[in-house]
Amino acid sequence: MTYEIAGSRVVITGGAGFVGSHIVDALLDEGAAEIIVLDNLIRGRRENLEPALRSGTVRLVDGDLRDAALIRQLVEGVDYVYHQAALRITHCAEDPRQAFGVMYEGTFNVLEAARDARVKKVVAASSASVYGEASYQPIDEAHPYNNRTLYGAAKIADEHMLRAFNDMYSLPYVALRYFNVYGARMDIHGVYTEVLIRWMDRIEQGQPPLIFGDGTQSMDFVYVTDVARANIAALIADESDAAFNVATGVETTLSELSQRLCEVMGRPDLQAEYHEERKVNPVRHRLGATALAREKLGFVSSVDLRQGLERLVEWRTETLKTTGATA
C-alpha cells in the first residue's frame, strides 16, 4: 500500500512535546495539509509549536488521552495518527494509577478511535525500555522483554494492543522503540529534567557534572531530528505489524558523555564528580541494533554525538537568552 503525507490530515498525540513537535515540523516539510495536535501541555509546551502554528496548517487542542470522546472527535476523517503522548518513566513510578490511565487506557482510546475512523496507519512511540537489561548487545528487535519498570510494562502493553488491533480490525501500524533521545526542546525547567540539562546548568556555573555510579553505564544516544525522520520513514514505508529500533548503533558511557559535553561547552578542564549509584533504573548498558530499520524503513541516523551536543547547547543558550531565564 502507498502512504502519502502530502495533502494528508494527521492527528498527533503529545505533539507539543520534545519529540512530537519535531514530528510536526517534519510533517509540515512533507506537505501535510492539516495537523491536529492533542496535548495536555503538562510535558509539552506551546512554544515548541510556535513556528509550526504560524503555518496555519497546525491546530493545537488542549486535551487528555483519557478523554475518549475528544479523541474520537479529533480522529474522525483523518488519514494518519501519530501516538506520542506518554508519561515519563519516573512519573510512572511515582504515580502508577495515573500511569495506568494515561499509558494503557489512553492508548486504547487512540486505537479505538483510529479503528472506527478507518485511519490508514498508526505510528506509535514505543521505547527501548521494553528490553530492560540487555541479554546481549547490540539489542535487536528479537531481544526478549526483560523490562522491570511500570513505564516499560505500559509500552509492552501498547505494542500488544497495536498488534491486536491490527489482527482483529486490520489497523496498520508501526511501533518505534526509541533509545536515548536528546536534543533541542528538551525540558529545561521541568520536574523530570533530563541529566544532560542538569549537567549543562552545572558546567555553565563552573561546576563538574555529577554522575551517580562509576560512569561505565552506557547508552545509545539518538538526536531528536533523527527520531522525527524515523517517524516519517515509518509512515511512508510499506511496512505494518512491526516494531523497529530508533538508535545510532553507537554506545557511549556516561563518563564519555560528560567529557564531551564539557568540551563542547568550553570547559574541558572540568572532570565529572562521582557519587553512589541511585537504584532508579536497573539498566546499565544499552546499545541498539540498527539493521532492521535500515533495511525495512531506509532509516539511518545522521547526527553524531558531537554534532548533537553542539546543537543542544546552542538551542539552550538561545532559549535562555530569549526567555531571560538563568540556568
Per-residue pLDDT of 165-185, as tens digits, reads 999 999 999 999 999 999 999
Query: Which pLDDT does position 146 carry in this prediction?
Result: 96
Element (H, E) at 209: none
Task: Reply yes or no on whether the pLDDT at 189 is more than 90.
Answer: no
Query: Which pLDDT does position 66 carry in this prediction?
Result: 97
Task: Report the alpha-carbon distance of residue 174 to residue 176 in Å, rounded.
Answer: 7
Share of the chain above pLDDT 90, in %: 90
Beta-carbon contacts of residue 204 (< 8 Å; ≥ 6 apart): 265, 327
Task: Reply yes or no on whether the pLDDT at 326 is more than 80.
Answer: no
Task: Reply yes or no on whether the pLDDT at 95 is more than 70.
Answer: yes
Name all domains of the chain by residue range, CATH numbers in brackets. Answer: 9-181+221-246 (3.40.50.720), 184-220+250-284+304-323 (3.90.25.10)
Query: Which pLDDT does position 188 carry in this prediction?
Result: 75
Q: What is the pTM of this model?
A: 0.95
Torsion (CA) 180, 232, 248, 257 in degrees, nearest 10: -40
Q: Rounded mean pLDDT of 130-144? A: 97
DSSP string for residues in 31-79:
T-SEEEEEE-SSS--GGGGHHHHTTTSEEEEE--TT-HHHHHHHHTT-S
Q: Rounded mean pLDDT of 145-161? A: 97
For the chain, give the mean pLDDT: 95
Q: Is 148 helix (H, G, I), strand (E, B) or coil?
A: coil
Number of helices (H), then strands (E), belonging to the chain: the values are 12, 13
Residue 151 among the catalytic residues: yes
The answer to whether the CB of 155 falls within 8 A of the CB of 89 is: no
Query: Which pLDDT does position 327 carry in this prediction?
Result: 47
Q: Which of 80, 82, 151, 173 is catalytic?
A: 151
320 or 124: which carries more pLDDT confidence?
124
2-34 pLDDT tens trace: 899 999 999 999 999 999 999 999 999 999 999
DSSP state of 13: E
Query: Which pLDDT does position 194 carry in this prediction?
Result: 79
Q: Which of 95-109, 133-147, 267-281 has the lowest mean pLDDT?
A: 267-281
